[in-house]
Amino acid sequence: MPTLKELCRAAEGELVGTPGVQITGVASLGSATKDQIAPVESARWLEAARASKAGAFLAHKDLATRLDRPAILSPFPIAALNKVIEALGLVPPPQPPGIHPTAIVDPEAKLGKGVHVGPFAVVGKARIGARTVLEARVVVEDTVELGDDCHVEPGAVLHAGLVAGSRVRIGANAVLSRQGFGYAPSPKGPVKLRHVGRVVLSDDVHVGACTTIDRARYDETRVGRFSALDNLVHLGHNCLVGERSFLAAQTGMAGGATIGDDCEIGGQVGLSNQARIGNKCRVGAQAGVIGPWEDGSTIWGCPAMPKTEFLRGVAVLRRLAKGEEKGPGEEAGA
Q: pLDDT tens across 250-269, in order?
A: 999 999 999 999 999 999 99
Band (pLDDT 50/70/90 cuts) for residue 109 is very high
Lowest-confidence segment of 53-62, 122-131, 311-320 by average pLDDT: 311-320
Distance CA 109, CA 68 (A): 58
Quick count: other Cβ atoms within 10 Å of Cβ 219? 13
Distance CA 48, CA 139 (A): 47
* Cα–Cα separations (whole angstroms), residue 104 to 51, 110, 135: 56, 13, 13
pLDDT value for 333: 47
Spacing of C-alpha 118 from chain mean position: 24
Q: Name the maximum alpha-carbon separation found in the chain.
A: 80
Return the CATH number of the domain spanning residue range 98-308. 2.160.10.10
Catalytic residue numbers read 237
328 or 221: which carries more pLDDT confidence? 221
- CB neighbours of 214 closer than 8 A, spacing ≥ 6? 177, 178, 179, 180, 181, 195, 199, 221, 234, 235, 236, 237, 239, 255
> Which pTM value belongs to this model?
0.89
β pairing state of 71-74 and 14-16: antiparallel
Quick count: other Cβ atoms within 10 Å of Cβ 268? 16
Query: Rounded mean pLDDT of the chain?
Result: 94
Q: What region, left, alpha or beta, does residue 69 occupy, with left being phi > 0 and alpha being psi -120 to 50 degrees?
A: beta
Query: Coil, helix or strand for 123?
Result: strand
- Which residue spans of the chain are classified as CATH 3.40.1390.10? 4-87
pLDDT value for 332: 47
Residue 138 pLDDT > 50: yes
pLDDT value for 29: 96
- Is 123:160 a contact under the CB 8 Å cutoff? no
Residue 150 pLDDT > 60: yes
pLDDT value for 314: 87
- Which residue spans of the chain are classified as CATH 2.160.10.10? 98-308
Distance CA 201, CA 220 (A): 10
Distance CA 329, CA 312 (A): 14
Domain 4-87: which topology?
Answer: 3.40.1390
* Cα–Cα separations (whole angstroms), residue 196 to 162, 201, 219, 237, 274: 11, 17, 8, 10, 19
What pLDDT, in 10s, does the model give residues 70-81?
A: 999 999 999 999
